[in-house]
Every structure is written in structure tokens, then in C-alpha cells.
Structure 1
Amino acid sequence: MYKTVIVDDERWIVEGIKTGVRWEKYGFQVAGTAENGQEGLELIEKLRPDFVLTDIKMPLVNGLELIKQGKEISPRTIFAVLSGHAEFAYAQKALNYGTFGYCLKPFEIEEIENMLGKLSHSLKHRDQLGPQRDTQDLYELLCSGNELLLAEKLVAAGMPVNAGMPVTPILVQGYAHAPFREDVQHIRFRMNKRRVGILVYSHLADSLLSPLDKPDIAIDYSIGIGSPSTSPAELEASLEAASVAAYGSFSTGKGGIYRPFVTSETVLSSLIAELTDALAQKDRMRFMAVMESCRPMFHRYALTIKDAYLIFNTVMYLFTRKGIKENARFLEGYDQLYYDYGHSDIMIDYLVKHTLEHFSDELFSRLAGVTHNRIKEILAYIHHHFNQEISIQSLSEKFYLSPTYLSQLFKKEVGENFVEYLSRQRIQYACKLLAETDMTVSQIGEKCGFNDYFYFTRIFKRLNGMTPTQYRESR
């Protein structure tokens, strides 16, 4: 029986899981329970369990720290997390720590039992791993560039590579849970705690991965497959391509099997140029639009972690060049990007939030004269969404204030009514676009939140004393 520890600061949840789940049916027994992370670590050190099911938000030691320290104490222990919807981002981050999965509260007993079924299968495969499969020095030779020694090592390992017997490199992110066919000849080597490389004869690659190639199986790891190599000289480059592809889940948010993809240089250069110009001109709306345009490209795997790495460090470099060094941080590799953010969406959200101060001088000066916290929140919201449809009614519903009270409070704190303030924000951005872009007046009006060209022209003239066309000519 596999030993299990349950850790959650809500006692009724612990008892419900302990008594409601059919543990023995799946080969498990609950060996201990804890009500906080510190007690959980003590149990892990004492029992060395096979499986730990833990909450995320707990006193003393939270769930993420429990997983991190627990793996150091008991490397073979497998973890899964319980999480409320509010902590979903943390649950996703837990996957980067090498967890088996997560269950969102409120959960069903069947959900936990389904996870136990998959976990039992993985534990059985783990126990069957033979030492003859693993050869760490092979990875060192692959990185050394010494083709002669590498060829000798491959022969000694029973996998010579030549034109008649090409070898395919495979890279697995989240190795502990991948159910490979152990009867298929292959060699594997650990690259770090979360990544394992595999060499297999190309004609056997599909057979090795066949347990994973089923649409009804949900997996929380990703696999990168390189191109067939007919000589030791080709293996290093093919393994590198597989290594990048294995981060496919970073782009899409989904586990699975990924093959190398090379982003168009034109597309990537255009994105970098747009981001550079937006930051140089302090054009927040343009910067956010470019970042948002990246999301669907990542989701459909048209951008890879290699591109994400370049985008992230480019933005950080531009901050350093502007002299904002205290806010800039650089990534040292793809693994750090994957470990810190886990998903391209989280990285994009970070960059948008991180660059906020660079774009928000006017907002901060405006907030300095406002005393009411709710109005500060509303002003910040308007500042970031003024090009979208906003009304007193929609703001009152979003911020739980009556429309009448909100109108009065806004005028008192800001010194002008909501419509005037919103129009001025939009027209200020229109002036920027008129001066710095070649967009038509109609396009600029729509981009600033005006659906009616004539209304946009009328408001622009009232605030600036001239039409948009006259303003552009004067600039």
C-alpha cells in the first residue's frame, strides 16, 4: 500500500477526504494528517510517504513551501494540491514544482479518486524503472561536442547511431508521471529535477510514447520530440530543439507532445519593434495591445518559450536603458522563465503590471489629490480602459456604488464630472496618436473609444480649439 499524508488547515476537509475517498481500492492508505504546513513537513520527514495531498493557503508554512521543502526531505514523494478558485494561479505554479496535479475546491470525491487511479499507475511504472536505463554521463557527452567519445558511449549503451538506424531525442518536462513503455529500448538521462532526456531509435519513438497518445488522458507534463539524427554530430542540435519544444505547455497552457516550431523572423521582429516604440513613446495602450496580441499566438503555439524569453528580456533591457534599473530583472534561461511564471499568460500579466509605473505619471499625480479610496480605484480603472465602453452605470455596478452617489462623489473628488474626465482622457490619447502615427482620423477615434466620427471631432474641437485634422497639420 502507498502511504499518504493529507495536509489542510480545515479539519472538516481532512476528515471528509480521509473517510470519503476509497483509498484502499487504489492501493493507498492514509498514514497521517496535519493541520498546517509545519506539521506536514514533520510528518513527511517521519513517514517518507509516497503521496502528499496538501492545501495551498495554510498557517506557518504554505502549500508551495511545503512542496519545495518536502521534496528536499523526501525526493520520491509525489505531491498534489487542493486549492480554491481564488488561488488558481498558485495551483498552476505548484505544477512547476513537480506536483502531480491539483483539485479545485469545492471538489468531488470522484475527482480525487480519478487522480489516485492515475497516480497509482505512475507509481507502479516508477517502481519498475531499471538502473540500466539511466546514464547521466551520456548527457555530459552530448553537451561536450566530442563526437568520437559520444559515438563510443552510444555503442557501449547498445544504441549506435548511423544512417540506417537514426535516433530521435525526446525531452520530457515533468518526468515523474510519464508512463512510457518499458519494453521499448531507450536510454534516458536526467537534465535537472524537472527534465529528463531520452534517446530512442526513430522507428520506435511512437511505440515508446503510445501510452501518452490518447485524447482521453489529461496530462500535466509536456514532451518535446526532436528530429531523427543519423550521426552523433546531429544529436546535440536535435536535443536542443526538443528541449525548447518540451516547454510547449508554457505557451499553450496544456500538457502534451510538441514538435519544434520556428517562429517567423518577420513576426518576431515586428513584435519587438512595436514593443520598443511603445515603451519609447510611453504609449501604454499600444504596449498593452501588442502584449495582448501575443496571447493567442502563444496559445496556438505560434510563439514559443524561446520567443517569450526574448520578449521578456527585451522589455527589461529597455527599462535598464531608461535608467529604471531597480525595476528590471533579467532571466538567465528558459527554465527560469518556466519556473517563475509557468504559463505565457502569467508572464504577459507580469510585464503589463511591471511597466505600469512607466506609463502612469499622470495617473499618479491625479491620485495624489484624491482622498477617497474607491474613487482612486475607479480612476485607475478608467486610466487602463478608457478606450473601451465605460459608463456611470457600468462603474456603479463594478464598484458597488449607486449611480447618483458615484456621480456626486466623482465630481467632488476629481473636480469634474465623469463624462468630462473620460472624454479628456480619450482626447489626450488621440492627440498622441495624431502626432506620432499615420492612422486616419476615423481609425484614431475608434482606437480612443469613440464609435461616432462626428462626435469625436466635435469633442476634440471643444477641448483643443481645432479639429483633429488641423491639430495634425499644426504638429
Structure 2
Amino acid sequence: MYKAVIVDDERWIVEGIKAGVRWETCGFQVVGEAENGQEGLELIEKLQPDFVLTDIKMPLVNGLELIKRGKEISPHTIFAVLSGHAEFAYAQKALNYGTFGYCLKPFEIEEIESMLAKLSLSLKHRSGPEPEQDAQELYEILCSGNEQLLAEKLKAAGMPASAVMPVTPIVVQGYVHVLHRDIHHIRFRMNKRRVGFLLYSHLVDSFLSSLDLSGGAVEYSIGIGPSSASSAGLEASLEAASVAAYGSFSTGKGGVYRPIATLETTRDELLSELAGALAQKDRMRFVFVMESCRPLFHRSALTIKDAYMIYNTVMYLFTRGGVKANARFLEGYDQLYYDYGHSDAMIDYLVKHTLNHLSDELSSRLAGVTHNRIKEILTYIHHHFNQEISIQSLSDKFYLSPTYLSQLFKKEVGENFVEYLSRQRIQYACKLLAETDMTISQIGEKCGFNDYFYFTRIFKRLNGMTPTQYRESR
């Protein structure tokens, strides 16, 4: 949409033009109005409009002076005049100042709309940069933090930020093939697959609907930053839009995302839990914490920024613990996004990458098993024994009949499924009793026992003492 300003000291005329003319159909939006020439000049300087429709006879500054001084303030602005028959000579003089045209009062709505249609064509084909032209220099200035130079560049590009006309940054993850040219904006490429835009906040919805995102198999993800009333806030707003554009990494779905404030306490608690699990080589605790991250990512409570910190923190703690094999660090969000694509894939990788080094028990157990499907089942139990597991659920998951699975399990493992699962849970309970201050009830629940008395009975059967006696003996 092209920006338009109306200047006339007769209020009823301004309201009639605003209400009667189909501005948006003609490709325009009225962004300001003034009742005298002085206010009109202030609006032109502030809004840098594409078009000004002005009366001739006005207090303080008349229409001719407005056009003359307005062109000095905003060279790209096009002017047209409204005049009565008595001021026709003035209207002709205005044409000599380079105005686009004039409408005589009393005017017809169709007359103004016809002028706007011609003006729209003229604006589209006039020389100079197209609205969507890449503005890499402006982008570099924006990232540099030079607020004064950025303000100058925005003004030169016809998009100064103000409280009246705040600017919104948008980042598109993926390539935008076609972009309609009737909405004023600034475009710049952030990298091979990310494009950034700046536009006035009131045009965001129209702009999004104008994007051609028919990219075939490409999954688009669009981030919208907070509105900024000054150049000083645009850098932080663009960074917020950039992180939001990775929304598909968290949720697994393309779409339009706005910044969501992540609770630092939540992230810090997760990192602390992961550090504790790795320090104690606690496989079950590590898996539990990683699995608890999934729903947080899925509902956007954690972002790619949090994923980046989690990934590199785990790798750092992992290598610090003495394990050197296959540990690598990520250099930025892009690498994380293109290596894994989705938070679930990153979590799966971290779980798989670290588990063999947190415990050798599984490896030794699998060494004595010959049936591949039972190996898969043992691995699954090893990773999920604190969850609800039964012969029936395993038979459904691994496509074996419950009877055959029970017989095969006993043959390969040497004990039945219930005994094996109980022993896995009690082993972990022993670890928690010795290394934590959790209550007996909390430990039972964490190990997969929902019944306190059943937990203590199984514990005593396998260890010859109650959980309390075991903790005291330690």
C-alpha cells in the first residue's frame, strides 16, 4: 500500500474523502490528515508519504507553499491539489510546481479515484529502487548498532520509525519467490535461506497475505518482531523476529510465529538437572530431563535459542567428563536448524549419543542376546523403565504376540519380563536412595511405581531390606 496524507482546513471535506474514496482498492492507505499547511508539513516530515492531497487556501501555510517546502522535505512525495473555482489560477500555478493533478470543488469521488488509479501506475513505474529491492547496506547498519546512521537510512528509504508510524521487522525462513509490489517495505537477505523485511506495523497483515510462499516442499516459518517506534529498538526487534522464525524447529510445523518470552528459571533448571545427571552418570535422570523438554518445545515454551544452549552445554559437560568420542559443538542457530530440523531430532540424537557412555550395563546385557527384536525391546526398556510398560504395550509396539513375546523374552534374557522390569526399576531406586535426598515416595514414583507399598515390597524382596534400611546402611 502507498501512504497518503490529506491536508484541508474544512473537516467535513477530509472526512468525506476518507470515507467515500476506495483508497485500498486503488492501492493507497490514508496514514495522516492535517487541518492547515503547517501541520501538513510536520506530517510530511514525519511520515514521508507517497502522496499528499492538499487544499490551496489554508491558514498558516497555504497549499502552494506546502507543495514547495514539502518537496524539499520529502523529494519522492507526489502532490495533488483540491481547489474551488475561485482558486483555479492557483491550481494552475501548482501544476507548474510539478504536482500530479488537481480536483475542483465540488468534486466527484470517481474523479479522485481515477486520479489515484493513474497515480498508482505512475508510482509503480517511476525510476528509483523498487519497494522490495534488497537493502544489504541498511541491514549491515542495523546490525552494527549505529542508531543515527540507521535513522538516516530509514528516512532516505521512506520508512522513518516514529510513535505514530512504528516499524515491524519480519523474517522469512525459506525463499520468497514472488512478492507483490504495492506494499511499501524494505527487503534484505540475511543468509541463503532467510530474508528479512521492514515495514510499517499497520501493513503487517496485508504484507503477509501478499507473500507467495508456494515453495513446493519447502516448509516456511515466519517470525514477526515487536513494533519499534525508533531506530534504536529495531536491532533487538529484528533479533526477536529472527529467533521466532525458527518456530518450526520447536513445534515441527511451519507458520507465523511471534516472540515468546522463555522463563530463564525453567531453562536454568533444565541445564542444572542435565549437569547433575551427567556428573553422576545417571542415565535415567538424563533421559527423563531430555524427554521433559519435548512438550516445552512443542508448545513454544522453549525456542531454538534454548535448544542451542542445551545442546552445547550437554556436549561441553559430556567431554569434560572424559569422553572424547564424536563430541562436536554448534556455531549458531542455523547449524542446529539445518543439522536436525526439529527439536525432537536433536533430543533423540543427544539421548542416543550419550547413553552408551553413561552406563555399560545395557551393552553387557545385549552381548548375551541373539534375537534382534529382543535387543530392540531391551534397549527400549532400558530407556523407558520408569514409564508405563507392559507385555501388551511391547507386543503392540514391536509387532509380536504377547504369548510369543513372553516366551522369547524368557528364553533370551533368562528371566520373565516383569522380573526384569522390576529389577531395572529397583536398581535405579538404589541409586537415588544413595545419591539424593528425595523421599521414599518420590523415589518410587520416579522409578515407575505408583503404589508406595508395592514399591517397598518389591524393593525388600530383591534387596532383603526396606528402602529406608537401605538408605541408612549407606
TM range (shorter): 0.5 to 0.7
CA distance, structure 1, for counterparts of residue 211 and residue 135 of structure 2: 23
Task: Give runs of aligned pairs for residues 77-88 of structure 1, distance below 5 A.
Answer: none
Q: Which residue of 1 aligns with 2:441?
A: 442
CA distance, structure 2, for counterparts of residue 254 and residue 263 of structure 1: 19
* 1:352-400 per-position Cα deviation (integer Å, ceiling 9, x unaligned): 2222212331111222233343332332222123223444455455545
CA distance, structure 1, for counterparts of residue 469 and residue 455 of structure 2: 14
Task: Give runs of aligned pairs for residues 12-161 of structure 1, distance below 5 A.
Answer: 130=130, 133-161=133-161
Question: Counterpart of 2:139 in structure 1: which amino acid?
Answer: Y
TM-score, length-normalised on structure 1?
A: 0.66
Offset of residue 340 of structure 1: 1.2
Offset of residue 423 of structure 1: 2.1
Offset of residue 166 of structure 1: 2.7
- Helix, strand or coil at the partner of 2:188: strand
8 Å CA contact retained: 1:180, 1:208: no
CA distance, structure 1, for counterparts of residue 272 and residue 130 of structure 2: 51
8 Å CA contact retained: 2:180, 2:211: no
8 Å CA contact retained: 1:138, 1:153: yes
Q: Which residue of 1 aligns with 2:196?
A: 197
8 Å CA contact retained: 2:250, 2:343: yes
Offset of residue 339 of structure 1: 1.1
Q: Which residue of 2 aligns with 1:78?
A: none
8 Å CA contact retained: 2:287, 2:383: no
Offset of residue 235 of structure 1: 1.9
CA distance, structure 2, for counterparts of residue 315 and residue 272 of structure 1: 8
1:285 aligns with 2:281: no
Would the alpha carbon gap of residues 387 and 166 (structure 1) be closer, same or farther in structure 2, given more than 3 Å must change?
Answer: closer
CA distance, structure 2, for counterparts of residue 418 and residue 132 of structure 1: 64
Q: Which residue of 2 aligns with 1:324?
A: 323
Question: Counterpart of 2:454 in structure 1: which amino acid?
Answer: Y
- Helix, strand or coil at the partner of 2:207: helix
1:206 aligns with 2:216: no
* 1:199-238 per-position Cα deviation (integer Å, ceiling 9, x unaligned): 112232333224479xxxx993122222222333322222
Q: Which residue of 1 aligns with 2:10?
A: none
Would the alpha carbon gap of residues 402 and 147 (structure 1) be closer, same or farther in structure 2, given more than 3 Å must change?
Answer: closer
- Helix, strand or coil at the partner of 1:383: helix
1:462 aligns with 2:473: no
Q: Which residue of 1 aligns with 2:247?
A: 248
Q: Which residue of 1 aligns with 2:365?
A: 366
Would the alpha carbon gap of residues 391 and 264 (structure 1) be closer, same or farther in structure 2, given more than 3 Å must change?
Answer: closer
Offset of residue 430 of structure 1: 1.0
Would the alpha carbon gap of residues 450 and 326 (structure 1) be closer, same or farther in structure 2, given more than 3 Å must change?
Answer: same
Question: Counterpart of 1:161 in structure 2: which amino acid?
Answer: A
Would the alpha carbon gap of residues 337 and 132 (structure 1) be closer, same or farther in structure 2, given more than 3 Å must change?
Answer: closer
Q: Which residue of 2 aligns with 1:13?
A: none
8 Å CA contact retained: 1:278, 1:287: yes
* 1:405-430 per-position Cα deviation (integer Å, ceiling 9, x unaligned): 55555444434343332222111011
Equivalent pairs: percent with the same residue? 82
- Helix, strand or coil at the partner of 1:175: coil
CA distance, structure 1, for counterparts of residue 418 and residue 148 of structure 2: 75
Q: In structure 2, list runs of 5 or more residues that go unmatched.
A: 1-128
Return the index of the structure with the highest Cα Rg. Answer: 2
Q: Which residue of 1 aligns with 2:111?
A: none
Equivalenced residue count is 343
* 1:244-274 per-position Cα deviation (integer Å, ceiling 9, x unaligned): 1111121122222222222111111111111
8 Å CA contact retained: 1:219, 1:256: no
* 1:294-323 per-position Cα deviation (integer Å, ceiling 9, x unaligned): 222112211111111111111111111112
CA distance, structure 1, for counterparts of residue 160 and residue 209 of structure 2: 23
8 Å CA contact retained: 1:173, 1:195: yes
Q: Which residue of 2 aligns with 1:310?
A: 309
Offset of residue 459 of structure 1: 2.0
Q: Which residue of 1 aligns with 2:63?
A: none
CA distance, structure 2, for counterparts of residue 401 and residue 159 of structure 1: 66
8 Å CA contact retained: 2:131, 2:181: no
Would the alpha carbon gap of residues 219 and 182 (structure 1) be closer, same or farther in structure 2, given more than 3 Å must change?
Answer: farther
- Helix, strand or coil at the partner of 2:169: strand
CA distance, structure 1, for counterparts of residue 168 and residue 419 of structure 2: 64
Q: Which residue of 2 aligns with 1:103?
A: none
TM-score, length-normalised on structure 2?
A: 0.66
Would the alpha carbon gap of residues 254 and 211 (structure 1) be closer, same or farther in structure 2, given more than 3 Å must change?
Answer: farther
Q: In structure 1, list runs of 5 or more residues that go unmatched.
A: 1-128
Offset of residue 133 of structure 1: 2.4
Offset of residue 448 of structure 1: 2.1
Question: Counterpart of 2:455 in structure 1: which amino acid?
Answer: F
* 1:141-198 per-position Cα deviation (integer Å, ceiling 9, x unaligned): 2122333433332233222334443322211112325x65521110101111111111
Would the alpha carbon gap of residues 272 and 144 (structure 1) be closer, same or farther in structure 2, given more than 3 Å must change?
Answer: same
Offset of residue 432 of structure 1: 1.2
8 Å CA contact retained: 1:319, 1:327: no
Q: Which residue of 1 aligns with 2:472?
A: 473
Q: Which residue of 2 aligns with 1:225?
A: 224
RMSD: 2.8
CA distance, structure 1, for counterparts of residue 299 and residue 356 of structure 2: 31
Q: Which residue of 1 aligns with 2:347?
A: 348
Would the alpha carbon gap of residues 453 and 173 (structure 1) be closer, same or farther in structure 2, given more than 3 Å must change?
Answer: same
Q: Which residue of 1 aligns with 2:235?
A: 236
Would the alpha carbon gap of residues 161 and 421 (structure 1) be closer, same or farther in structure 2, given more than 3 Å must change?
Answer: closer
8 Å CA contact retained: 2:131, 2:186: no
Offset of residue 130 of structure 1: 4.8
- Helix, strand or coil at the partner of 2:387: coil
Would the alpha carbon gap of residues 420 and 132 (structure 1) be closer, same or farther in structure 2, given more than 3 Å must change?
Answer: closer
Question: Counterpart of 2:338 in structure 1: which amino acid?
Answer: Y
- Helix, strand or coil at the partner of 1:355: helix
CA distance, structure 1, for counterparts of residue 160 and residue 393 of structure 2: 68
